[in-house]
Amino acid sequence: MKQGAAAFGWYLRAADFCEGETYEEKELQYRCMVLGSAVFARSEARNQTVNGLIKAAISVLPTRQEAYYWAAKYSVDQSNYRDGAMYAKMGLDCKDVEPNSELNYPGRVGLDYCYAVSKWKSDGRDDSKNLFFDLKHKRKLDMNKEMRESVDWWIGQVGYPSTLPYTEAEENKYRHKFNGLDKVTKNYSRHFQDMFVLSTLNGKRNGTFVEIGSGHPTLFNNTYLLEKDFGWKGLSVDISERMCAIFSRKRNTTAVLADAGQINFKDLFKQNCIENQIDFLRINSDNASLVALENIPFNEYEFSVIQIQHNECWWGSDLKDKTRKILQEIGYILLVPNVAVDETNAYEDWWVHPGFVKSDMRTNKETNFAWDYMMKERR
């Protein structure tokens, strides 16, 4: 602590001797106050002094990120997560500066890390998990070893987010490119289900689909992107009267209110003039999924892509085994088995008609984390 006191004395004198009129003088004052706050932060008993010095540094150069980082980090260390989120967000709104070894500033990723921790501890919502996910899978090379290990620890505690969205910023990392990818600004499925269909069919326009267990018409929906941006049409079946009512208001697709386990699909398809070649069949109707699959008239209708949610990570392998037996006997190819919400928890299979197999989309993995399958790792 004696050495720390000597260092602080030097920082204080250097700051006092500067009048703070030029940018260079302000920068010296700023650096001295940030470094001085670090001296007292190590003592663990001078909270007001630390906060005062950091705030003084911010007042001198309010558009520099380093002081906001230290304010956020110190707030997190003190379990003051709301202040941590506030300071991190303020720093992220500033123009990025390069990592600074003198001020021990790791760069923007340090602010992202503080914001992720603070947001999770202050509200615990799913979007906070997305912040940790982005650090692990999109910012890995920006972090030092200590920060990477901390992010891994946090993800081990909170888990992955329930949805892994695609945005236009991810275009260069997208593995299975298709015509029109450059026009896609976002998707709507939880784990790239809609993007997989477009990749398999090379961005086909004006396609057709049958969606059994459609849920909300836009939120986490697997056909909304196809309809909205690529002109697809089809049938969406759901057992919820409320969901079907919302569907009818928000979508051009025909919504069918019915129990998937009690539908005569041959009659339904004929009544709605569904052609014999359908581009996409999606089945996610919980306990009715197996019966629905058994009742699809495969002898009269073919599907280019089939996705069926078997929920193995929650229900065990019985539904998965039975649905696989049916589709394999018909002749469909299991292109991506056990699509998973993370590295281990699988919940659905992605199938294709033999005529639509793309060798570069095959995988030999038994379990396929959706992000790793669809996106390239940053090098």
> Residue 210 sits in a domain of what CATH number?
3.40.50.150
Do 75 and 55 belong together in one domain? no
For 73-83, how does the pLDDT look when each residue is reduced to its tens digit (9 = 90+)? Answer: 999 999 999 99
What's the structural domain count of the chain?
Answer: 3
Residue 284 is predicted with a pLDDT of 97
Q: Where are the alpha helices (DSSP H) in the chain?
A: 2-17, 23-43, 47-60, 65-77, 81-92, 108-123, 126-138, 145-158, 193-200, 224-230, 241-250, 265-271, 289-295, 312-315, 318-330, 370-374
Q: Return the half-sphere exposure (C-beta side, CA atoms, 13 A cut-off) of residue 245.
A: 3
Among the listed ranges 15-19, 21-25, 149-153, which one has the minimum average pLDDT value? 15-19
- Which residue range forms the structural domain that includes residue 31? 1-62
Domain contains 379: no
Do 221 and 278 belong together in one domain? yes
- Nearest of 123, 193, 130, 192 to residue 159 by alpha carbon: 130
Do 151 and 198 belong together in one domain? no
d(CA 131, CA 151): 10
d(CA 229, CA 234): 14
Do 190 and 338 belong together in one domain? yes
d(CA 201, CA 20): 63
336 contacts 232 by C-beta, under 8 angstroms:
no
Do 186 and 246 belong together in one domain? yes
For 94-151, how does the pLDDT look when each residue is reduced to its tens digit (9 = 90+)? Answer: 999 899 888 899 999 999 999 999 999 998 888 899 999 999 999 988 999 999 999 9
Residue 379 is predicted with a pLDDT of 46
Do 37 and 80 belong together in one domain? no
Domain contains 298: yes
Domain contains 334: yes
d(CA 336, CA 193): 11
The tokens of 267 are what? 């009659």
3-state secondary structure of 180: coil
Residue 48 is predicted with a pLDDT of 83
Bridge partners of 280? Answer: 209, 305
Do 187 and 89 belong together in one domain? no
For 210-259, how does the pLDDT look when each residue is reduced to its tens digit (9 = 90+)? Answer: 999 999 999 999 999 999 999 999 999 999 999 999 999 999 999 999 99
Do 153 and 186 belong together in one domain? no
The tokens of 50 are what? 């630390």
